[in-house]
Amino acid sequence: MNYNRVVCFDLEMCCWSKDDIANQRSTKSTGEIIEIGLAEIDLSQGVIVKRAQFFVKPEHDEISGFCYELTGITPRKVQKQGRPLEDVLHSLVKNFGGPRKIYASWGRDDEILRAECEQKGLDFPFKEFVNLATIYRLKSRLKDKRIGHRAAQESLNIEWEGRQHSGYVDAYNLAKVALAIL
């Protein structure tokens, strides 16, 4: 296990508006992962050393207009650049070290990824996980108050860069927070 390196990751999933859900849209939807953004940090040097973005082709869901507006991910982009989750996980392990690295997200994206891996009969790609939201709350002495990633970043006086709800951008911004709190 490499304790000097942490891979920050963020997931984007298929999503729908409240109107879509009210119109029975949710009966055939699962909220499948459509993007995994990653940014690896070197704690000893205090720098971001690597970034990646993987688009995932959903097996059951379609990308709604609401999802496109929120994430900027179009059905065409996923059709052209996306790969099956299994292939993306192989690339993730190859390029970022899989179970030999510590992975971190804001919240429990690990549980979302684990559930989808189990649903699809895939091996979960890592062993060690850190919830940076919990670490931030502990360091900031926020007992019962939940705080979003962007608000926490702003409270640390770290400038947000890029479009929120892009896995690639969110992972990069999360890496900047991780460098500040780890």
Percentage of the residues of the chain whose pLDDT score is greater than 90: 85
List the structure tokens of 51: 């970034």
Q: What CATH number is attached to the domain comprising 55?
A: 3.30.420.10
Is pLDDT above 90 for 22?
Answer: no
Cα distance between residue 35 and residue 64, in whole Å: 14
Instruction: Find the mean pLDDT for residues 75-84.
Output: 97
Task: Of 59, 66, 63, 119, give the one whose Cα is nearest residue 83.
Answer: 59
How far, in Å, are 21, 108, 178 from residue 145 at the CA level?
29, 16, 19
Query: For 92-122, what is each residue's pLDDT tens digit?
Result: 999 999 889 999 999 999 999 999 999 999 9
Query: For 124-182, what is each residue's pLDDT tens digit?
Result: 999 999 999 999 999 999 877 789 999 999 999 999 999 999 999 999 999 999 999 99
Model confidence, pTM: 0.93
The single-letter code of the amino acid at 29 is: S
Query: What rounded mean pLDDT belongs to the chain?
Result: 93
Is pLDDT above 90 for 26?
Answer: no
The single-letter code of the amino acid at 123 is: D
What does the pLDDT read at residue 144? 76
Report the residue count for the chain: 182
How would residue 23 be classed by pLDDT, with cut points 50, 70 and 90? low
Would strands 5-13 and 33-42 be described as parallel, antiparallel, or unpaired? antiparallel
Is pLDDT above 80 for 19?
Answer: no
What does the pLDDT read at residue 18? 78
Owning domain of residue 161: 5-181
How distant is the alpha carbon of residue 41 from its chain centre? Answer: 15
Number of domains present in the structure of the chain: 1
What does the pLDDT read at residue 142? 87
Is pLDDT above 80 for 25?
Answer: no
